[in-house]
Every structure is written in C-alpha cells, then in structure tokens.
Structure 1
Amino acid sequence: MHDKVHQAGVTERVALVTGANKGIGLEIARQLARAGVIVLLGARDRGRASAAVHALAQQGLTAQAVQLDLEDEASIAAAAASIAAEHGRLDILVNNAGIVDAEDGPPSAASIAAVRKIVNTNFVGTLAVTQAMLPLLRRSPAARIVNLSSSLGSLTLNGDPSSPYYSARLIGYNASKAALNMLTVQLAEELRDTPIVVTSVSPGYVKTDLTGHQGFLTAEDGARLPVQHALRGADAVSGRFVEASGDTPW
C-alpha cells in the first residue's frame, strides 16, 4: 500500500471511473488526471482499458487499468481488493458505465429482455460497484460519489408535456436512470453523518457511441460537470441532481 504525495505534502486523491475506456468516461478520466488525481480506469475489457491508459500516457497523463464488469460481481470484488491493496482507500467514485439497447422503447413495445439488461447494468450493477467501494470511500477524508444520470431519469420532466424529454419514451433507459437517482437520494441520506457526498449529474446530450453520436455536446464538454462535482470541496452538498443549467427536478 502506498500514497503518492505532492511536494507540498498533500496526498493525491484516488479516483475510480467505471466505463472509462471511451466516450464521457474516458474524458472524465483524462480531466481528473490533468487535475492531478490518481485515475483508475475501469472497463469490462482489460485490453480496451489498457489501450485507453496508453492513449492517456501519450498525452503525458498517468492512469491505471482496472478490469471491472458491472454484471460480474466477482470482477467487482476483485477490483475493490486490488484498489485496497494498492492504495488503501478511494476518494472519488464516478459511476459512469451504462448502456442503451435498440430494442428499448415505450412501455407497450419495449423488449423485456432489453429492459432487464439495461436496468441490471445501469442500476443494479452500479449499486453493486458502489457497495463494494464504500468501505474504501469511508477511508477518505472527503469522498465524492458521482452518479452519471440523465434528465431522462426525471419523473417530473417525463410527465411534463412542455419538456423536450416528454416524448423520449425509453422505458428501460429512463427507468434505469430514475432508479439511479433513487440510489443518490437514499445513499446521501444514509451517509449524511459522514464526509461522503453523493451527486447525480446529467452531463447533457453528448456525442458518444451511447447516443449514436447524435448529441449536441462533445465528450470534453459533457465531462466537465461530472469532474467539477468529483473535485468539489467543502461547499459540496449531498443528494443533488444537477445539470449544466443548475438543479434538475427529480
């Protein structure tokens, strides 16, 4: 076990970013590394994780590959054990990994298999990772958990005919993000007497594989808000659901 220390004597923060081999996850990892954070780049495929680490190294940034499959509890437990052995704690957890499925759709027509897979990955898998990492986060003096949500997970906006999200009826994906928001709310309450801050962040409509590159924002743009909350100091407020324009209604 070891801590890397700045010349000023301040211990560097350690961050795990799930689904970090591409898209917003990779950009979050890049921006955290630029901020001097020790970045653990989590991905299902070890080779893709290593390739992403190499890509960051070519930009002068250091990261470590961590094999992590949200649908494989053994891989989650192994990742937690390796982080404990190498670093002894975790200061930042960015729950970025998530999926969509072409067979998702409105409640009357969505494939049940697709909905089950989406919810199992986006919500149950994220819960499993969070549970496994909590003992390490509790060892941090001021840990941050950032859940990558979506305005599509807002019950308020889904029920508002004037909202641009009203017609986006993807029962599996939207429900998975609403459930993720419930995790943020309940976890923030459970941890209210600790220094751990939990936040749901909607990065916006970002051009990634997840959106079929149809978004308005670049991955660099979309990563800024999650990184801001991952690095937030003593003014951080737990249990918020935020997007670039401010707080989002649950």
Structure 2
Amino acid sequence: MDIDDILREVDPTFHAVPQEKRDLQELTRAWIAERSAPELLPWPPNGLFERINDNIKRQIEKVEEMTGDMDPRTNFALIVIQTELERFKYIVRSYLRARISKIDKHTLHYLSTDQLRSRLSEMELAYATRHQALLHNHYLSSFLSSFPPQMQNLNDSAGISMVEAPDLESAVFIRLLKDCLVEGRGVDSDGQMEGRESDVVILRWSDAKPLVKSGSAELNINNRTYNTMASPYTHIVLITGANQGLGYEIAKKLGAEHKDYHIIATGRRKESLDEAVKKLQSEGISVEGLVLDVTSDESIAEAVKTISEKHGRLDVLINNAGISENAMKDPDVPAREVWHQILSTNVVSTAQVTDALLPLLEKSQAPTKRIIFMSSTLSSLGLRADPKSNLRHTFYRAYSTSKTAMNMLAQNYVIQFQDDPTWKVNMNCPGYCATNLNGFNASAQEPAFGAINACRLATLGPDGPTGTFTNVEGTVPW
C-alpha cells in the first residue's frame, strides 16, 4: 500500500489502531506537510509531540535494558525495536529541522502577531524570542546604534516593511482527498478544473492553502508525482519478485506516482502473478505480468525475448527477488543445500538476470538507465564488525552472506559503467518489513515503507548518484 494512502485512509479516531501507530501516522503527515509548505504550519495539537517523545524515551530505555543479552531471540527483538526507534527519531529530527529553518529565516514575521505566534510551540516561541533578541543586539552593537532611534528597530513597517515574510506564491504539490473544484492563478490567466480524488495538482501555496485547510487536499512532498502532464516517453521498468511483498509495493508506488512508468511485474507462479497484476491494474497502474523464474536460464531467456519483441528496450531494472533461511523450513534439507539455494538465488541468479537484460537497458532512450539491487543492512561488514552495533549478533548467516556478495556484484556493474553518467547503479536496503522473506513478522514495518527508497532510486535523473548503498534514512556502511 502506498504510504500516502496508508496515512490518508487510516482514521485517527479509530481506536482499533494502536495509539503509538496512530501517533506515528499523524507525525508523518505533519512532517510531509511541513517540508512541503513554504510557511510555518501550526504546531501539532493534542499533545502529539509529547506522546512521541515519551515513546522514544521508553524505546531507548528498552534498548538499554536488552543490550548485552546474548539470547538470539532477544537480539532479534532488539533489532526490531531499534529499527522502529530510528524511524521515529529520523522523522522527529527532520520535522524539527524544517520548522527551525523557517523560524530562523522569518523570525520577526512569526513573532509579529498573536495569530502567527500561536503556530509555534512553547519551546519554539522561547527559541524565536531569544534568537531575535540576540540578533537585534548584534545588529545594534554593529551598526544600528549609529542610526537615529526611530530607525533602529528591525521590525520597522513605516513605508516599506522591514519584516521579511515567506513567499506564499511558491508552487506546491497537493493530492486531492475528494472530488472538488480546484482554482488557481497563472502567469497569463487564472483557471479552474474539476479535480478528482487522488489527482496530484501543482498550485501556488496561496491557492492550495484553502483546500488543505478544509481537508479537501493534503500536501505532497514528492514533487515528481503528478498525473496531468505525463512525459511522452514511457519508462519501461522490470521488477523481479513483484507478485507479493516489497516487489508488489514498489510496483504500486512507482506506477501510482509516475504515470509515465510502465511496470513489468515478474514472478514464478502465473496464478499469483495474474492476481497481483489484476489488482494493480484496478488501481490505475500501468502494469503487465511476465512469468520469470530467476533461477532458470530458459525462463530468463524467454522473458528477455518477450520484452524485446514487445517493448524493444528497458529503462529500469529492480532486482528484488530473493530468499532467506525463513523460506526453507524443511529440517530435512541439508545445510549445504540451504546455502546453495540462497547463494544461487540471491547472487548467481541476480547476476544472470542483470547480464541478460543489459542489452535492453543499453537501448534505453531515457536520460538515465537505472539498476537497483535490493540489499540489506545485514550485509554490512562495517555494522557487523562494530561491537556496539545491534546487528552484530544477528546471524541469518546464509542470507546476510549472500547480500554481502550481491553488493560486490553490484559494484562490478558500477565500475563497468562508471565512465557513462547515464547509468545509475545503486544498492537499497528496504528496512525490516513484514514480507514472506521473514514469515510476515507482525512486529515489522508495513511493506509500503520498504518501497520508498527503492522508488527514489528508480526515478533518479542525470544528476543522481551511482554506486551508493542507502536506506530511507541515508547511507548504510559497507
């Protein structure tokens, strides 16, 4: 499920959803809106931030209590808690940075009226007041003291106002939450349109603000997400293992947010693949199914032939298919066979698929040709070697070893195309999400969360990075 849809469809007053989860959803809404709007938005009401801080404190205490326990089950639980903690902390820090940046830039403006001051929390108001006092004293001692007394105030509004305000004419992207009339002012003329639910529209903030305030729309942080003026060039994207889990969520998010992207969803089993494709198509996604068993050279060759005849090229390859120890629960399977199957699927098969599709990627006319390898923080040698890392005692030996090897495989492609800036080859960790890979662990994150960074990498432009290993929070140590 798309993360924006999750946030929009979950009713915050529905108490079957745990309070902690509802708080995280509300905080994420506030974070997205704050980063998108050109002006400071009201501080979240009803003690949301206080509850979030209390939860972070409890999680930190829990981590400290569990650290040092050598029981593998405890270590696994510790990873889950630590992952959730880092997610909370990332959103909180990013949200506060966005607000502080606006306060620093337009301090006098937000202190100028009671209505604007009410948008700040008590701590933000104290910060802004002290910040402005220090700034005024600095200016006064530097040069204002030489001016006549009536010209020494920084908030002088006689004639031309000295108080800089945010630009309310800045463009923003909004997602409509229901059918409504959208009115906007253009450079040459004004206009209006009958907006439909889920449409993404670009407007001046002054025009969009009433729609957001009334609940008819929400701010959209992804400024690449629009569906009214799709590019005439259709990007062809192949995702392995897209009939379920992360692959399915990537197909959904990518197709929903980029109408100029056509998804080739692949999977081994035709029945489940057809069901997944049908569901995606019912939601307006441009998608087709293609049976592909990555462990079969014959299946790979047949898939390449089909794509070549139908599309003649490929623009994006997302190597998502993979297995772990959880997929091999038969106790009678020898350890050597377990290792063989995991390494064969996650490394050898990924290499075979990538090599087979390179000729089609080379025919891409897009500004960038993108290859994404779905890796994991469990592959990180740096985290594994760090005695303080919570991942140090998380084993999954075959799986983690295979992902480390896959990172090396990916680096070979990075080096192969390093002199051609049109190639973007990157590794992505989706985070610990509830999928078939881990037996749909109830304590893991929604699969939709794991699609966020993969979709970012799948839409990189000419200025985008290559050779990186990242997750939704940033760089992952090698």
Which TM-score applies when normalising by structure 1? 0.91
Whole-angstrom distance in 2 between the partners of 1:40 and 1:59: 16
Select which of 444, 459, 467 maps to 1:231.
Answer: 459
Aligned to 2:343: 119
Select which of 212, 220, 242 maps to 2:448.
Answer: 220
2:382 matches 1:156: yes
The one-letter amino acid of 1:28's match is I
Whole-angstrom distance in 2 between the partners of 1:229 and 1:14: 15
Q: CA deviation at 1:8?
A: 6.3
Contact 2:237 2:317 in 1 (8 A): yes
Select which of 400, 404, 429 maps to 1:202.
Answer: 429
Whole-angstrom distance in 2 between the partners of 1:103 and 1:78: 26
Instruction: Give the number of the structure whose residues are more often helix, by fraction.
Output: 2
Provide the aligned C-alpha RMSD in A: 1.7
Whole-angstrom distance in 2 between the partners of 1:200 and 1:38: 22
The one-letter amino acid of 2:361's match is L
Whole-angstrom distance in 2 between the partners of 1:173 and 1:46: 26
CA offsets per residue over residues 191-226 of structure 1, 9 Å max, x none? Answer: 112211100000100011212222532111110110
The one-letter amino acid of 1:227's match is C
Q: Which has the higher contact order (CA 8 A, sep 6+)?
A: 1
Relative to structure 1, the CA distance from residue 210 to residue 102 in structure 2 (aligned partners, 3 Å threshold; closer, same or farther) is closer
The one-letter amino acid of 2:379's match is G
Select which of 248, 252, 255 maps to 1:26.
Answer: 248
Which TM-score applies when normalising by structure 2? 0.49
Q: CA deviation at 1:7?
A: 6.8
Aligned to 1:58: 282
Aligned to 1:78: 302
Contact 2:424 2:460 in 1 (8 A): no
Aligned to 1:189: 415
Relative to structure 1, the CA distance from residue 7 to residue 216 in structure 2 (aligned partners, 3 Å threshold; closer, same or farther) is closer
Q: CA deviation at 1:31?
A: 1.2
Aligned to 2:331: none
Contact 2:327 2:437 in 1 (8 A): no
Identity %: 35
Whole-angstrom distance in 1 between the partners of 2:438 and 2:391: 14
Aligned to 2:264: 40
Q: SS state of the match for residue 363, structure 2?
A: coil
2:401 matches 1:175: yes
Aligned to 1:245: 473
Q: CA deviation at 1:161?
A: 1.9
Aligned to 1:129: 353
The one-letter amino acid of 1:200's match is M
Relative to structure 1, the CA distance from residue 24 to residue 8 in structure 2 (aligned partners, 3 Å threshold; closer, same or farther) is closer
Gapped runs of 5+ residues in structure 1? Answer: 1-5, 105-109
Gapped runs of 5+ residues in structure 2? Answer: 1-227, 329-333
